[in-house]
Amino acid sequence: MIIFPAIDILDGKCVRLIQGDYNQQKLYNESPLNAAEQWMKYGAETLHIVDLNGAKSGTATNKKIIGQIAQSSNLPIQVGGGIRSLEQIEEYFSIGVQRVILGTTAIHDFPLLQQAVEKFGDRIIVSIDARNGMVATEGWIKESTITATDLVENLEKIGIQTIVYTDIARDGMLQGPNFEELATINQATSIQVIASGGITTIGDVVKLQQMNLYGTIIGKALYDGRIELIELLEVMNHAS
Protein backbone atom coordinates (compact mmCIF):
# COMPACT_ATOMS: atom_id res chain seq x y z
CA MET A 1 0.00 0.00 0.00
CA ILE A 2 1.25 3.46 -0.92
CA ILE A 3 1.63 6.15 1.76
CA PHE A 4 0.88 9.69 0.54
CA PRO A 5 2.13 12.39 2.93
CA ALA A 6 -0.20 15.37 2.48
CA ILE A 7 0.96 18.90 1.79
CA ASP A 8 -1.92 21.36 1.90
CA ILE A 9 -0.91 24.80 0.62
CA LEU A 10 -2.69 28.01 1.63
CA ASP A 11 -1.24 31.43 0.79
CA GLY A 12 2.08 29.78 -0.04
CA LYS A 13 2.41 27.99 3.30
CA CYS A 14 1.91 24.41 4.50
CA VAL A 15 -1.18 24.23 6.74
CA ARG A 16 -3.89 21.83 7.88
CA LEU A 17 -7.57 22.71 8.09
CA ILE A 18 -10.01 21.21 10.58
CA GLN A 19 -13.07 19.77 8.83
CA GLY A 20 -12.21 21.78 5.72
CA ASP A 21 -12.83 25.04 7.58
CA TYR A 22 -10.60 27.85 6.32
CA ASN A 23 -11.16 29.66 9.63
CA GLN A 24 -9.67 26.73 11.52
CA GLN A 25 -6.17 26.33 10.18
CA LYS A 26 -2.85 25.42 11.74
CA LEU A 27 0.47 26.45 10.20
CA TYR A 28 2.98 23.60 10.02
CA ASN A 29 5.65 24.93 7.73
CA GLU A 30 6.30 28.32 6.16
CA SER A 31 7.70 26.48 3.15
CA PRO A 32 5.81 23.63 1.43
CA LEU A 33 9.09 22.92 -0.38
CA ASN A 34 10.81 22.25 2.95
CA ALA A 35 7.91 20.01 3.98
CA ALA A 36 8.29 18.01 0.77
CA GLU A 37 12.04 17.66 1.33
CA GLN A 38 11.39 16.46 4.89
CA TRP A 39 8.97 13.71 3.80
CA MET A 40 11.30 12.68 1.01
CA LYS A 41 14.20 12.43 3.50
CA TYR A 42 12.05 10.19 5.71
CA GLY A 43 11.37 7.80 2.85
CA ALA A 44 8.24 9.08 1.10
CA GLU A 45 7.83 7.66 -2.39
CA THR A 46 5.10 10.04 -3.50
CA LEU A 47 3.27 13.18 -2.31
CA HIS A 48 -0.34 14.35 -2.18
CA ILE A 49 -0.63 18.12 -2.65
CA VAL A 50 -3.75 20.27 -2.35
CA ASP A 51 -3.94 23.91 -3.44
CA LEU A 52 -6.40 25.18 -0.81
CA ASN A 53 -6.57 28.62 -2.44
CA GLY A 54 -7.37 26.90 -5.73
CA ALA A 55 -10.09 24.81 -4.10
CA LYS A 56 -11.79 28.05 -3.10
CA SER A 57 -11.16 30.18 -6.19
CA GLY A 58 -10.80 27.71 -9.05
CA THR A 59 -7.46 29.25 -10.06
CA ALA A 60 -4.09 27.52 -9.60
CA THR A 61 -2.85 30.05 -7.05
CA ASN A 62 0.03 27.94 -5.74
CA LYS A 63 1.08 26.42 -9.07
CA LYS A 64 4.58 27.93 -8.96
CA ILE A 65 5.36 26.34 -5.57
CA ILE A 66 3.89 23.01 -6.70
CA GLY A 67 6.09 23.12 -9.78
CA GLN A 68 9.14 23.75 -7.60
CA ILE A 69 8.26 20.71 -5.47
CA ALA A 70 7.77 18.56 -8.56
CA GLN A 71 11.11 19.63 -10.04
CA SER A 72 13.19 19.43 -6.85
CA SER A 73 11.83 16.21 -5.37
CA ASN A 74 11.69 13.98 -8.45
CA LEU A 75 8.86 12.16 -6.67
CA PRO A 76 5.58 11.34 -8.42
CA ILE A 77 3.14 13.98 -7.22
CA GLN A 78 -0.65 14.08 -7.32
CA VAL A 79 -2.34 17.48 -7.06
CA GLY A 80 -5.88 18.61 -6.38
CA GLY A 81 -7.71 21.79 -5.49
CA GLY A 82 -10.08 23.68 -7.79
CA ILE A 83 -9.00 22.10 -11.08
CA ARG A 84 -11.91 22.79 -13.42
CA SER A 85 -10.67 22.70 -17.01
CA LEU A 86 -8.57 20.66 -19.42
CA GLU A 87 -6.24 23.66 -19.68
CA GLN A 88 -5.55 23.60 -15.94
CA ILE A 89 -4.91 19.86 -16.06
CA GLU A 90 -2.44 20.30 -18.92
CA GLU A 91 -0.67 23.14 -17.09
CA TYR A 92 -0.08 20.91 -14.08
CA PHE A 93 1.26 18.09 -16.23
CA SER A 94 3.58 20.56 -17.97
CA ILE A 95 5.26 21.48 -14.65
CA GLY A 96 5.99 17.89 -13.69
CA VAL A 97 2.88 16.76 -11.82
CA GLN A 98 2.15 13.08 -12.46
CA ARG A 99 -1.57 12.88 -11.62
CA VAL A 100 -4.36 15.40 -11.19
CA ILE A 101 -7.28 15.06 -8.80
CA LEU A 102 -10.75 16.29 -9.74
CA GLY A 103 -13.31 16.76 -6.98
CA THR A 104 -16.46 18.84 -7.27
CA THR A 105 -15.89 19.05 -11.04
CA ALA A 106 -16.38 15.30 -11.28
CA ILE A 107 -19.89 15.73 -9.86
CA HIS A 108 -20.99 18.93 -11.60
CA ASP A 109 -19.24 18.62 -14.95
CA PHE A 110 -19.32 14.95 -15.92
CA PRO A 111 -18.64 15.71 -19.62
CA LEU A 112 -15.37 17.44 -18.62
CA LEU A 113 -14.43 14.43 -16.53
CA GLN A 114 -15.11 12.12 -19.46
CA GLN A 115 -12.99 14.30 -21.76
CA ALA A 116 -10.16 14.31 -19.21
CA VAL A 117 -10.20 10.52 -18.89
CA GLU A 118 -10.28 10.08 -22.68
CA LYS A 119 -7.30 12.39 -23.04
CA PHE A 120 -5.18 11.55 -20.00
CA GLY A 121 -6.31 8.07 -18.89
CA ASP A 122 -5.10 6.89 -15.49
CA ARG A 123 -3.46 10.25 -14.75
CA ILE A 124 -6.91 11.49 -13.69
CA ILE A 125 -7.97 10.72 -10.11
CA VAL A 126 -11.41 11.53 -8.68
CA SER A 127 -11.74 12.69 -5.10
CA ILE A 128 -14.95 11.62 -3.37
CA ASP A 129 -15.86 13.41 -0.15
CA ALA A 130 -18.69 11.69 1.70
CA ARG A 131 -20.71 12.01 4.87
CA ASN A 132 -22.84 9.08 6.01
CA GLY A 133 -22.25 7.43 2.64
CA MET A 134 -23.57 10.45 0.70
CA VAL A 135 -21.37 12.54 -1.59
CA ALA A 136 -20.65 16.08 -0.38
CA THR A 137 -19.64 18.94 -2.69
CA GLU A 138 -18.71 22.64 -2.62
CA GLY A 139 -15.92 22.25 -0.08
CA TRP A 140 -18.07 19.92 2.03
CA ILE A 141 -20.79 22.53 2.51
CA LYS A 142 -23.45 20.76 0.46
CA GLU A 143 -24.58 17.16 0.73
CA SER A 144 -25.79 15.75 -2.57
CA THR A 145 -28.41 13.08 -3.19
CA ILE A 146 -25.79 10.78 -4.73
CA THR A 147 -24.49 7.80 -2.77
CA ALA A 148 -20.75 7.27 -2.88
CA THR A 149 -21.27 3.71 -4.11
CA ASP A 150 -23.41 4.86 -7.05
CA LEU A 151 -20.85 7.49 -7.98
CA VAL A 152 -18.02 4.96 -7.91
CA GLU A 153 -19.97 2.66 -10.23
CA ASN A 154 -20.42 5.54 -12.71
CA LEU A 155 -16.73 6.45 -12.48
CA GLU A 156 -15.73 2.88 -13.19
CA LYS A 157 -17.87 2.88 -16.34
CA ILE A 158 -16.02 5.84 -17.84
CA GLY A 159 -12.59 4.43 -17.03
CA ILE A 160 -11.49 6.09 -13.80
CA GLN A 161 -8.85 3.86 -12.24
CA THR A 162 -8.13 5.59 -8.93
CA ILE A 163 -10.20 7.49 -6.36
CA VAL A 164 -9.43 9.32 -3.13
CA TYR A 165 -12.17 8.56 -0.62
CA THR A 166 -12.55 10.96 2.30
CA ASP A 167 -15.00 10.56 5.15
CA ILE A 168 -15.32 14.23 5.99
CA ALA A 169 -16.66 13.60 9.48
CA ARG A 170 -13.27 12.04 10.29
CA ASP A 171 -10.91 14.38 8.43
CA GLY A 172 -8.53 16.26 10.73
CA MET A 173 -10.22 14.86 13.85
CA LEU A 174 -7.69 12.09 14.62
CA GLN A 175 -10.50 9.64 15.39
CA GLY A 176 -9.46 6.88 13.01
CA PRO A 177 -10.77 6.17 9.49
CA ASN A 178 -14.27 4.93 8.69
CA PHE A 179 -13.15 1.35 8.07
CA GLU A 180 -16.68 0.09 7.39
CA GLU A 181 -17.37 2.61 4.63
CA LEU A 182 -13.92 2.10 3.10
CA ALA A 183 -14.47 -1.66 3.04
CA THR A 184 -17.86 -1.16 1.36
CA ILE A 185 -16.37 1.09 -1.33
CA ASN A 186 -13.32 -1.11 -1.89
CA GLN A 187 -15.45 -4.23 -2.29
CA ALA A 188 -17.93 -2.52 -4.60
CA THR A 189 -15.38 -1.60 -7.26
CA SER A 190 -12.19 -2.63 -9.01
CA ILE A 191 -11.06 1.01 -8.86
CA GLN A 192 -7.96 1.65 -6.73
CA VAL A 193 -9.05 3.30 -3.47
CA ILE A 194 -6.88 5.79 -1.59
CA ALA A 195 -8.18 6.31 1.96
CA SER A 196 -8.17 9.80 3.41
CA GLY A 197 -9.39 11.26 6.68
CA GLY A 198 -8.90 10.33 10.30
CA ILE A 199 -5.72 8.25 10.08
CA THR A 200 -4.28 8.54 13.59
CA THR A 201 -2.02 5.58 14.39
CA ILE A 202 0.29 3.11 12.71
CA GLY A 203 -2.33 0.50 13.61
CA ASP A 204 -4.89 2.37 11.46
CA VAL A 205 -2.55 2.17 8.48
CA VAL A 206 -1.75 -1.52 8.99
CA LYS A 207 -5.49 -2.26 9.08
CA LEU A 208 -6.00 -0.39 5.81
CA GLN A 209 -3.13 -2.37 4.32
CA GLN A 210 -4.78 -5.61 5.44
CA MET A 211 -7.99 -4.44 3.70
CA ASN A 212 -6.00 -4.33 0.43
CA LEU A 213 -6.51 -0.62 -0.15
CA TYR A 214 -4.31 0.94 -2.82
CA GLY A 215 -3.07 3.77 -0.64
CA THR A 216 -3.69 6.18 2.20
CA ILE A 217 -3.16 9.92 2.64
CA ILE A 218 -1.80 11.01 6.01
CA GLY A 219 -1.72 14.65 7.08
CA LYS A 220 -2.31 15.83 10.62
CA ALA A 221 -0.99 12.66 12.31
CA LEU A 222 2.35 13.08 10.52
CA TYR A 223 2.65 16.78 11.26
CA ASP A 224 1.69 16.36 14.93
CA GLY A 225 4.17 13.49 15.32
CA ARG A 226 1.55 10.87 16.20
CA ILE A 227 2.90 8.81 13.32
CA GLU A 228 6.60 8.80 12.44
CA LEU A 229 6.95 8.16 8.71
CA ILE A 230 10.22 6.22 8.99
CA GLU A 231 8.74 3.90 11.63
CA LEU A 232 5.51 3.49 9.68
CA LEU A 233 7.30 2.44 6.51
CA GLU A 234 9.38 -0.10 8.46
CA VAL A 235 6.27 -1.59 10.08
CA MET A 236 4.49 -1.82 6.74
CA ASN A 237 7.45 -3.54 5.11
CA HIS A 238 7.43 -6.19 7.85
CA ALA A 239 3.65 -6.57 7.67
CA SER A 240 3.55 -7.10 3.89
Of 25 and 63, which is predicted with more confidence? 63
Give CA torsion, residues 130, 196, 24, 63, to 10 deg. -110
Closest by CA to 27, choosing from 171, 198, 223, 174, is 223
pLDDT of residue 170: 62
Q: Give the CATH number for residue 192.
A: 3.20.20.70
Per-residue model confidence (pLDDT) at position 140: 45
Q: What residues make up the domain containing 19?
A: 2-239
* Confidence grade of residue 134 (pLDDT, cut at 50, 70, 90): confident
How many independent structural domains does the chain possess? Answer: 1
Q: Looking at residue 225, what is its pLDDT?
A: 94
In this prediction, residue 85 carries a pLDDT of: 94
pLDDT at 176 over 90: no
Q: Give the percent of the chain with pLDDT over 90.
A: 68
Whether 122 shows a pLDDT value over 50: the answer reads: yes
Averaged pLDDT, 70-82:
93
Q: Phi-psi region for residue 225, left (φ > 0), alpha (ψ -120 to 50) or beta?
A: left
pLDDT value of position 48: 98
What's the N-to-C CA distance of the chain in angstroms?
Answer: 9
CB-based contacts of 230: which residues, under 8 Å, 6+ apart?
42, 43
pLDDT recorded at residue 74: 83
Residue 141's pLDDT band (cuts 50, 70, 90)? very low
State the pLDDT at residue 240: 67
Q: Which residues does the annotation mark as catalytic?
A: 8, 129
> pLDDT class for 202, splitting at 50, 70, 90?
very high
Tell me the sheet residues that pair with 53: none
The pLDDT value recorded for residue 131 is 81
pTM check: above 0.85 = yes
Q: What is the mean pLDDT of residues 10-27?
A: 85
Beta strands in 2-149 (DSSP E): 2-10, 13-18, 21-29, 47-51, 77-80, 99-102, 124-131, 134-137, 142-147
In the structure, what pLDDT confidence band is assigned to residue 168 with cuts at 50, 70 and 90?
confident
Q: Give 97's DSSP letter.
A: -
Average pLDDT, the chain: 90
